[in-house]
Chain A
Amino acid sequence: MLSRTAANLFWIARYMERAETMARLLEVGARIALLPSAGHGYRSEWDSLLQASGTADGFAKKYGDPVQRNIESYLFFDHDNSSSVATCIGRARENARIVRTALTSQVWDALNTAFQEMKALERLPRSETELSRLTEWTMRHAAMVRGAIDATLLRNDGWDFLGLGYKLERADNTARLMDVKYYVLLPKVDFVGSGLDNYQWTTLLRAMSSHRAFHWAYGGDITAGKIAHFLILNPQCPRSLITSTGGAVEHLDRLARGYHASTPAQSKGRSLLGELSEMTVEDIFDEGLHEFLSRFIGEVSKLTALVGEVYLSGEAR
C-alpha cells in the first residue's frame, strides 16, 4: 500500500485515541471539581491534568490561570490546541477523507458523523454543553469508530497500521498519565502512601476507566505497587503498557509476515515487550517509577519513529 495511505490510517487511529484520552482527562477533572478540595485544592488538580495532556504551556499562554471553564474549552473545543478533542476529531476525519477508499463505508460514516456532530456541538451556546455530555459523547464516538473498524474492516495491512496507531498512542498516553501523577502531584516523598495518595491513585484509575476493573483484579487496599502492576505489567488491563506494547508487536509481526520482510521496528517492539514480560514491580520501583516511565516513553517514541521510517515515510528500500 502507498506509504502515505498507511500514514493516514496510522494517524486516524492516533487522533481518535488521543481524543478519547482528552475526554477521560476532562471527566476526571470534573469529578475532582465536585469534591471538597483536599490540601492542594482542585486548582492544582486541573493543573496536573493540563500537564498530563501536554497542553499546560499552550493553555498558560492563552489563558493564564487554570479556570475550569477555560480548561474545558481549551481541551475540548479549542482549535489552537493541537490535542483538543475538536482538533483530534477534525484531523482524524480529514485523514479519513484522504483515504476514503481504504476504509469501509461504516468506518467513514462513524468518523464523518463524529465530525458533523462536533460541528453542531461547536455551534451550541456553551451554557448548553455540559461537560459530562461532552465527555460521554466523545467516548461514545470513539467506541463507534473502533467498533466499525473491528467489525467491518478487512484484516489487511491497512488494518495493521490503524492498530499500530491505536496501540502506540495508548502506550504513550498511559505512561504519561502515570508519570504526571507521580511526578507532578507528589513532589514530596512524605505524601506517598498517605490518604491523599490513595485518593489521587483512584483518580488515576478513573482516568483509565479502570477503577472497577482494578478492584476485581486485586481487591483489598489500593497500593502504589498494585496500581503500578496493574497499569504497567498486567496483560488483563486493556490500557496497560504491556497490553499496548503487545498489541503493537502483534501488528508488526503480521506486517512482517504479510510483506515477507522483518524490520527493525519489529525487533525493537519485541525487545521492549520482552523486557516488560520479565519485569516485576520491584524492578520498576528499584529503577524509580519516574525514571522507568521516562525511559519507556522514550522507547515507545523510538519505536514509533522506526515504524515511520520503515513503513510510513516511503524512504525505505
Chain B
Amino acid sequence: MTTTYFNEMYDGGAVRPPYARLQDWMQSMPAELRQMKQAEAETLFRRIGITFAVYGEGGDPDRLIPFDMFPRVFLQEEWRRLERGIKQRARALNAFLVDVYGRGEIVRAGRIPSRLVYRNEAYEKAVAGFVPPRGVYSHIVGIDIVRTGPNDFYVLEDNCRTPSGVSYMLENREIMMRMFPGLFQSNRIEPVDGYSDLLRRTLASVAPAKCDRDPVIVILTPGHFNSAYYEHSFLADLMGVELVEGADLFVEHGFVWMRTTEGPKKVDVIYRRIDDSFLDPLCFRPDSMLGVPGLMDVYRSGGVTICSAPGAGVADDKAVYTFVPDMVRFYLGEEPILQNVPTWQCGKADDLKHVLANLPELVVKEVHGSGGYGMLVGPKATKEQIAVFADRIKADPGNYIAQPTLALSTVPTFVDEGVAPRHVDLRPYCLVGERIELVPGGLTRVALTEGSLVVNSSQGGGVKDTWVLAE
C-alpha cells in the first residue's frame, strides 16, 4: 500500500506560493554553512536554557529538543480559516464545560452519553454548580492539528488543561530572527511575540469579582525538577509575574497569599501548571505536597481564579473528543470549520470489532494517555507488537480509541543528506478570556525520522518555526 502525502512546499515540480522565497534560501546554503548555523542555533538554545527532561529515561537531563531551521509556512488566507476554526472550537469547548458543570443541557438533549461526562475521572464533582469568571474554564486551549491536503485540516486532539510548548514557539522565532535576519526582510512574516502580553491580558481579564485593583497574577509550577520548568520560568519572566511553588502560597481570610520578603501579598489569578489532583490536598490527593491546602475553598468562594479551571479536563478527554463537532453545532449553532479525525470507540462493540480487524491500518491511543505513550501506530508496527496490543485492547476496551493512519503533510527539513520531506503537525495556542485571541503561528512539531508519523518530543520529534505570511 502506498500512501501519497501532501508536500506543503512542492506541488509536483512547482513550488507552492507560501514557500516561494525559501527555494533560493535553501539552495544558497551549502552543507558547511548549514552545519555552522545548526551548531549556532544549538548554542543559543543551550545558553537560553531551553532543555527538557524526558520522563522515565536516564541520559542527559538537560536534553535539547532538536530544532529544524527550515520554517513551516502558511499563507494569510490559509491561516484565516484555521484561526476561525480554532476559535470556534475553543468557544464550544468552554461552553461545554460551563454546561456540564451547570445544567448539563447537552446531556439532557442526548447529544453526548452521560456516562462519558459524569463518570469520567476528569469530571470534578468539587466544582459542579460553579461558574468561573466570564464563564471560562479553559483559558489556554492547545489544539493539535494535522494537514492532509491543501484544504484538509483535521483536529487530532484538544488540550484544555495546561498545553505546553509555547515557549518553543516564541524561542524558535527569536532564534530564526537572530540567525537569518535576511529571511525576515524578504518575507513579510506576522510576529508572534505579542503572545505574552495577550496571555497576561487574558489572565487579568478573568480576575475574581472580589478583586478591585490591578490583579496580581502568578504562575504555579510543580517545581524546578519538572521537565517544563524552563517554560514556566520563561513565561513568568515575559509577563513580569512571580513563578511560585505550592509552598510559596497559603490561604487565610478567604484569600490566597504569597510569601514575600515584604510579608504576605494577595494573589488574584493563578495560572497553574500542575494537575488538578495535586492542587489542594484538602480537596484532592491528600498526599500532594505540590499544592496549596485550602486553595479550592478559596476558589469556590470566589477569592481567586485558577487557570485553567479545575475540571476542565473533562473536555479534552479522547472519548469526549468525538463529540466536539456536535458541541459546535449544539452551543454555537454553526457548522464546525475544522474536522475531527474519524474515531472508533473500542468501548463500543461494533467499533471494537472493526478496530481489531483493522489494526495494521489504524492508530490506537489510550483514552487518558498523553505524550505519544501507550499508543500503537499500526502501519509501523510489527505483527508481534500488534498482537500484544490487541490483547491490551481486549482486556480494557473502554480505555482505547482508534483512528485511521492519517497521511500527515510533509515540510522540507534539514537532514544529514541535505533537505528531505518530514511529517509535521501544528499546535496553535488559543487564549480565552474577555476575548478570544490567537497569535498568528504556533508550534510545528516534526518527526525527524524518515517515514515516522510520531512527532512527540519524547519520541524523537523536533520543532520548527511556524510562519504566517502577511498579505
Contacts and interface: CB of A to CB of B under 8 A. Distances in A.
Interface of A: 1-6, 94, 97-98, 100-101, 105, 108-109, 157, 161, 255, 259, 261, 311-317
25 contacts: A1-B261, A2-B243, A2-B244, A2-B248, A2-B259, A3-B248, A3-B259, A3-B260, A3-B261, A4-B245, A4-B247, A5-B242, A6-B261, A97-B49, A98-B224, A100-B49, A101-B233, A101-B234, A101-B236, A108-B49, A157-B261, A313-B259, A314-B259, A315-B259, A317-B263
B314 interface: no
Given A94-B224, A101-B233, A261-B262, 9 more contacts: A2-B248, A4-B248, A5-B242, A97-B49, A105-B47, A108-B49, A161-B261, A313-B259, A314-B259
Interface in B199-246: 224, 233-234, 236-237, 242-245
B258 interface: yes
B210 to A, nearest CB: 22
B264 interface: yes
A182 B49 CA distance: 47
Interface of B is mostly: mixed
B312 to A, nearest CB: 27
Nearest to A1: B261
A315 B264 CA distance: 8
A231 B258 CA distance: 42
Nearest to B264: A317
Interface of B: 47, 49, 224, 233-234, 236-237, 242-245, 247-248, 258-264
A3 B261 CA distance: 5
Contacts of B261: 1-3, 6, 157, 161, 255, 259, 311-312
Nearest to A158: B261
Q: In this complex, which of B234, B242, B263 has the most chain A Cβ atoms within 10 angstroms of its Cβ?
A: B263
B31 to A, nearest CB: 29
Interface of A is mostly: helix
Given A2-B248, A101-B237, A101-B243, A314 B47 contact: no
B72 to A, nearest CB: 29
Contacts of B247: 4
Contacts of B237: 100-101
A1 B224 contact: no
A-B pairs, top 9 by smallest CB distance, nearest first, are A314-B259, A101-B237, A3-B259, A311-B261, A98-B224, A6-B261, A259-B262, A2-B242, A1-B261
A261 B260 CA distance: 14
A261 B262 CA distance: 9
Contacts of A109: 47
Contacts of B243: 2, 101
Contacts of B248: 2-4, 314
A315 B259 CA distance: 7
A2 B263 CA distance: 9
Contacts of A3: 248, 259-261
A317 B242 CA distance: 19
Q: In this complex, which of B47, B237, B261 has the most chain A Cβ atoms within 10 angstroms of its Cβ?
A: B261
Contacts of B258: 2
A105 B47 CA distance: 8
Nearest to A4: B248
A221 B126 CA distance: 79
A1 B258 CA distance: 10
A311 B242 CA distance: 16
A2 B264 CA distance: 9
A312 B247 CA distance: 13
A1 B243 CA distance: 11
Contacts of B262: 259, 261
A94 B225 CA distance: 10
Given A2-B258, A261-B262, A314-B260, A100 B244 contact: no
A279 B237 CA distance: 47
A111 to B, nearest CB: 12
Q: In this complex, which of A2, A6, A105 has the most chain B Cβ atoms within 10 angstroms of its Cβ?
A: A2
B224 A97 contact: yes
Contacts of A315: 259
Nearest to A259: B262
A4 B259 contact: yes
B16 to A, nearest CB: 39
A101 B245 CA distance: 15
Contacts of A1: 260-261
Contacts of B245: 4
B225 to A, nearest CB: 10
Contacts of B47: 105, 109
Nearest to A5: B242
Given A100-B233, A109-B47, A2 B260 contact: yes
A169 B259 CA distance: 25
A19 B436 CA distance: 52
B60 to A, nearest CB: 11
B242 to A, nearest CB: 5
Nearest to B238: A101
Nearest to A101: B237
A183 B236 CA distance: 51
A261 B263 CA distance: 11
Contacts of A100: 49, 233, 237
A259 B234 CA distance: 27
Contacts of B49: 97, 100, 108
Contacts of A261: 262
A100 B242 CA distance: 12
B241 to A, nearest CB: 10
Contacts of A255: 261
A101 B261 CA distance: 17
A6 B258 CA distance: 13
Contacts of A94: 224
Nearest to A161: B261
Contacts of A108: 49
Contacts of A161: 261
A162 to B, nearest CB: 13
Contacts of A312: 261
A255 B237 CA distance: 23
A94 B223 CA distance: 12
Contacts of B260: 1-3, 314
Contacts of B236: 101
A160 B260 CA distance: 15
Nearest to B235: A101
